[in-house]
């Protein structure tokens, strides 16, 4: 049975004029040459899914290997919301009872069991705090570390809170933090996501939290886009790059300028989606004499390959996409800086596994070395 809202998406897909422009912009297809990953072909698979026709394992995988980078949306001649439709196809697959890919099952099970996406032990979340770190326990602003930077890439959170303190921002941290729920949306499990959204907002209310500061672009997207869309409410949120850029303008923080060549990678969920392009560049201009750009940057920036749970399901694809981005950076720079923990993780993994000579850092890790 095709639900009404699915019909809406089928009608939108029918606007495709097969111009093939999307073939040339999809990072996953360009990295793998798998024709099922061409955006217009993913749309054809989505139609089958909405009509509840059987799809092959390879077709299933191509729906989940999309990073929802929105590059196809931006370039589509018929202005089809391709990435959104792919997300709806995942919802449909999940509700039809298709079994998740092993990496995705593992991810979902971990989130449902431990309430974070990295299998971290909640008792150790605040281990990221620097020694003898003091924060304002009465603040109504929470530094929300997020799963990846809270449990796994801890130096992102360590350097983030250190810089917030240096600026003089009032904030607190919280051991009761749980996953924002965005991976569940990306897996198509909307009912579980709703439970996490509601629980998060209840925890914030109980702890007198009125606004968030985040380092993670995935968490940012979740609170700005998914919460209002799915449960009709959210909490005010600021990405840390906007706070640091403001502080630089107000002379609240200074950095030594490095001579190294630094290149900035725009995370899809900060750049194309929310147009946060200026703040990271203003920050980097204050901390390097040599800021360079990728050939493809701002709206044209290529995805790192990890987003929207794509890496958890299709690691080889994700690493191939990342390596292409790393190789472009190596041509121009000594340090590759970005503002999303997932980008840091995947780009750094591709660099390390392939012996590329470049440092990959989250923006606060980079700044921490240059604090005046
Ligand atoms: S959103 Fe990105 S990865 Fe997904 S189909 Fe479009 S261009 Fe490809
Ligand atoms: S760019 Fe849009 S209209 Fe053109 S082939 Fe791709 S999906 Fe179809």
* 184-196 average pLDDT score: 98
- Strand-by-strand arrangement of the 288-292 sheet: 288-292, 258-265, 335-338, 359-362
- Residues 6 or more apart whose CB falls under 8 angstroms from that of 141 comprise 169, 170, 171, 172, 209, 210, 211, 212, 213
Cβ atoms of 92 and 188 within 8 Å: the answer is yes
Counting ligand 2 atoms within 8 A of each CB, the residue from 13, 15, 43, 78 with the most, and so the one to mutate, is: 78
Whose tokens are 């370039």? That residue is: 75
Name the E strands within 128-183: 141-144
Give the C-alpha separation, 171 to 286, whole Å. Answer: 24
DSSP element (H, E) containing 367: helix 363-368
**What digits encode the pLDDT tens for the residues 148-175?**
999 999 999 999 999 999 999 999 999 9
**Complex ipTM > 0.95:** yes
pLDDT of residue 277: 98
The confidence band for 1, taking pLDDT boundaries of 50, 70 and 90, is: low
Closest CA to 15 of 64, 62, 82: 82
Backbone angles phi and psi of 81, in degrees to 5:
-80, 75
Output the six-digit token pair for 13: 């897909």
CATH, residue 345:
3.40.50
- Residues 6 or more apart whose CB falls under 8 angstroms from that of 256 comprise 287, 370, 371, 372
SS3 156: helix
Ligand 1, closest atom to CA 310?
3
pLDDT of residue 308: 86
User: Looking at the DSSP assignment, which residues form a beta bridge with residue 239?
Assistant: 214
The confidence band for 368, taking pLDDT boundaries of 50, 70 and 90, is: very high
pLDDT of residue 75: 98
Ligand 2, closest atom to CA 80?
2
Show the domain range for 19. 4-95
User: Looking at the DSSP assignment, which residues form a beta bridge with residue 157?
Assistant: none
Please report, rounded to a whole number, the percentage of residues in the chain having pLDDT higher than 90.
96
Distance, CA 283 to ligand 2 centroid (Å)? 37
pLDDT of residue 327: 98
Q: Which residue's CA is the nearest one to ligand 1's atom 1?
A: 68
Cβ atoms of 349 and 319 within 8 Å: the answer is yes
> How buried is 63 (Cβ within 10 angstroms: 0-12 exposed, 13-18 middle, 19+ buried)?
buried
Residue 280 in contact with ligand 1 by CB distance below 6 A: no
Please check whether residues 284 and 344 belong to one and the same domain.
yes
Give the C-alpha separation, 157 to 15, whole Å. Answer: 44
Please check whether residues 216 and 260 belong to one and the same domain.
no
Total number of domains constituting the chain: 3
Please check whether residues 307 and 330 belong to one and the same domain.
yes
Backbone angles phi and psi of 371, in degrees to 5:
-60, 135
Please check whether residues 225 and 110 belong to one and the same domain.
yes
Which residue, of 223, 243, 263, is where some domain finishes? Answer: 243
Please check whether residues 17 and 123 belong to one and the same domain.
no
The confidence band for 307, taking pLDDT boundaries of 50, 70 and 90, is: confident
pLDDT of residue 2: 56
* 328-339 average pLDDT score: 98
Q: What is the torsional sign of CA 331, 334, 339, 342?
A: positive
Compute the mean pLDDT over every residue in the chain, rounded to the nearest whole number.
96
Please check whether residues 50 and 160 belong to one and the same domain.
no
Buried b (16+ CB within 10 A) or exposed e, 138-171: ebebbbbbbbbbbbbbbbbbbbbbbbbbbbebeb
Which residue, of 175, 209, 243, is where some domain finishes? Answer: 243
Residue 301 in contact with ligand 1 by CB distance below 6 A: no
Please check whether residues 48 and 118 belong to one and the same domain.
no
Distance, CA 181 to ligand 2 centroid (Å)? 31
Please check whether residues 279 and 261 belong to one and the same domain.
yes
Measured CA distances, 226 to 6, 30, 83, 237 (Å): 19, 28, 14, 13
Residue 14 in contact with ligand 2 by CB distance below 6 A: no
- Residues 6 or more apart whose CB falls under 8 angstroms from that of 59 comprise 36, 45, 48
Give the Cβ contact number of residue 261 at 10 Å: 16
Closest CA to 324 of 345, 294, 363: 294
Please report, rounded to a whole number, the percentage of residues in the chain having pLDDT higher than 70.
99
Which residue, of 215, 243, 271, is where some domain finishes? Answer: 243
Please check whether residues 72 and 128 belong to one and the same domain.
no
Cβ atoms of 78 and 17 within 8 Å: the answer is yes
Please check whether residues 118 and 225 belong to one and the same domain.
yes
DSSP element (H, E) containing 185: helix 182-187
pLDDT of residue 3: 61
Q: Which residue's CA is the nearest one to ligand 2's atom 7?
A: 40
**What digits encode the pLDDT tens for the residues 281-304?**
999 999 999 999 999 999 999 999
CATH, residue 70:
1.10.1060.10
Nearest ligand atom owner, CA of 308: 1
- For 119-128, 162-171, 189-198, 254-263, which range has the lowest pLDDT when averaged over its residues? 119-128
**What digits encode the pLDDT tens for the residues 78-120?**
999 999 999 999 999 999 999 999 999 999 999 999 999 998 9
Distance, CA 72 to ligand 1 centroid (Å)? 6
Cβ atoms of 142 and 213 within 8 Å: the answer is yes
Backbone angles phi and psi of 349, in degrees to 5:
-60, -45
Output the six-digit token pair for 63: 């729906």
Please check whether residues 91 and 120 belong to one and the same domain.
no
Cβ atoms of 334 and 263 within 8 Å: the answer is no
**What digits encode the pLDDT tens for the residues 26-53?**
999 999 999 999 999 999 999 999 999 9
Please check whether residues 277 and 212 belong to one and the same domain.
no
């Amino acid at each position: 049975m095709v639900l009404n809202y699915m019909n809406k998406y089928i009608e939108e897909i029918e606007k495709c004029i097969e111009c093939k422009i999307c073939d040339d912009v999809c990072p996953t297809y360009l990295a793998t040459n798998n024709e099922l990953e061409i955006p217009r072909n993913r749309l054809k698979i989505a139609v089958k899914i909405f009509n509840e026709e059987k799809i092959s394992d390879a077709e299933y995988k191509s729906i989940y290997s999309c990073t929802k980078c929105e590059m196809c949306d931006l370039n589509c001649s018929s202005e089809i919301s391709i990435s959104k439709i792919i997300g709806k196809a995942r919802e449909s697959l999940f509700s039809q009872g298709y079994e998740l890919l092993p990496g995705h099952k593992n991810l979902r099970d971990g989130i449902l069991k431990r309430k974070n996406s990295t299998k971290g032990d909640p008792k150790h979340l605040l281990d990221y705090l620097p020694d003898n770190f003091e924060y304002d326990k009465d603040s109504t602003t929470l530094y929300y570390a997020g799963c990846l930077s809270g449990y796994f890439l801890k130096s992102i959170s360590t350097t983030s809170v250190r810089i917030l303190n240096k600026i003089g921002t009032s904030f607190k941290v919280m051991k009761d933090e749980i996953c924002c729920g965005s991976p569940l949306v990306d897996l198509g499990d909307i009912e579980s996501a709703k439970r996490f959204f509601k629980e998060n907002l209840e925890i914030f209310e109980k702890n007198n939290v009125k606004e968030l500061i985040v380092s993670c672009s995935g968490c940012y997207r979740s609170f700005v886009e998914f919460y209002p869309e799915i449960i009709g409410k959210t909490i005010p949120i600021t990405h840390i790059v906007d706070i640091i850029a403001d502080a630089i303008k107000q002379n609240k923080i200074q950095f030594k300028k490095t001579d190294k060549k630094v290149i900035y990678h725009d995370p899809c969920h900060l750049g194309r989606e929310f147009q946060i392009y200026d703040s990271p560049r203003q920050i980097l201009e204050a901390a390097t004499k040599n800021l360079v750009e990728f050939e493809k940057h701002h709206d044209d920036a290529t995805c790192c390959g990890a987003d929207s749970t794509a890496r958890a399901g299709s690691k080889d694809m994700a690493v191939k996409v990342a390596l292409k981005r790393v190789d472009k950076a190596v041509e121009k720079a000594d340090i590759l800086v970005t503002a999303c923990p997932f980008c840091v993780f995947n780009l750094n993994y591709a660099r390390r596994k392939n012996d590329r000579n470049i440092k990959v850092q989250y923006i606060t890790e980079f700044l921490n070395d240059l604090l005046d």
